[in-house]
A and B are shown apart, each in its own frame.
Chain A
């Protein structure tokens, strides 16, 4: 069964450093998403991406964040200058359709630890 994959599973970085989290969405899916979950808190939407551009973003997704689809399979989230409060699980998700059929399938996540 096709699934979303993410690398690395765990990333440790120093405050102020740049990190890139990588995702390979399900191959026939057209919509891509990033979410984060701070330990013990709810899953929060960051950004959605369709047709090679950002479709929607939350207030969390400020100028330190960017997303890119560098080739036909990868989808990345870059955090330019990490802060302690960026420590969280980051989940990538993808869906085949938008609108009402927007069933999103999540990858296993990357645990980001900022020291």
Chain B
């Protein structure tokens, strides 16, 4: 089983709607989770981190973690064309200077 899996998309969402991005993970990367946004040709930009079960909200973004189902998601409310990017899910084992294990990313397109 791949350690972090994402649907590569593209996921097309109308402007103003809610975009829902999903990620599943294996037992090894089961401690801390991060969502990054990556524009084409640019570096990953941290959006959210989540460590415990439940929801975490920051502005238009909500991260959700369900450790029993090994599932983490990112909701983007009031989607804007500038949200169009690839969204990377990453996890760690939680120990020390942990390297991030990334999924392949979901390409999100917000249609004006």
Which A residues contact B (CB, under 8 angstroms)?
31, 33, 35, 41-50, 55-56, 58, 89, 91, 95, 98-100, 102-109
Contact check, A42 vs B97: say whether CB atoms are below 8 A apart.
Answer: no
Distance in angstroms between the alpha carbons of A107 and B43 in the assembled complex: 7
Known: A46-B99, A50-B96, A100-B31. 19 other contacts (CB 8 A): A41-B104, A42-B105, A43-B88, A43-B90, A43-B102, A48-B99, A55-B96, A89-B43, A91-B44, A98-B95, A102-B97, A103-B34, A103-B49, A104-B46, A104-B100, A105-B46, A107-B43, A108-B43, A109-B42
Interface residue tally on B, bucketed by range? 20 to 34
Return the CB mask of B24-63 against A: 1 if under 8 Å, else 0: 0000000110101000001111100101000000000000
Assess A44 versus B45: contact at CB under 8 Å? Given A50-B97, A100-B31, A100-B94: no
Enumerate chain A residues within 8 angstroms of B92, measured Cβ to Cβ: 102
Residue of B32, B44, B49, B96 near A43 (CB, 8 A) is: B44
Q: Closest residue of chain A to B101, judged by CB?
A: A45
Query: Which 6 A-B residue pairs are closest in the complex by CB-CB distance?
Result: A45-B99, A55-B97, A48-B97, A50-B97, A106-B43, A43-B102
Contact check, A56 vs B97: say whether CB atoms are below 8 A apart.
Answer: yes
Residue of B32, B96, B99, B105 near A58 (CB, 8 A) is: B99
Which B residues contact A (CB, under 8 angstroms)?
31-32, 34, 36, 42-46, 49, 51, 88, 90, 92, 94-105
Distance from B112 Cβ to chain A, minimum over Cβ atoms (Å): 27
Assess A106 versus B45: contact at CB under 8 Å? Given A42-B104, A100-B32, A100-B51: yes
Contact check, A99 vs B100: say whether CB atoms are below 8 A apart.
Answer: no
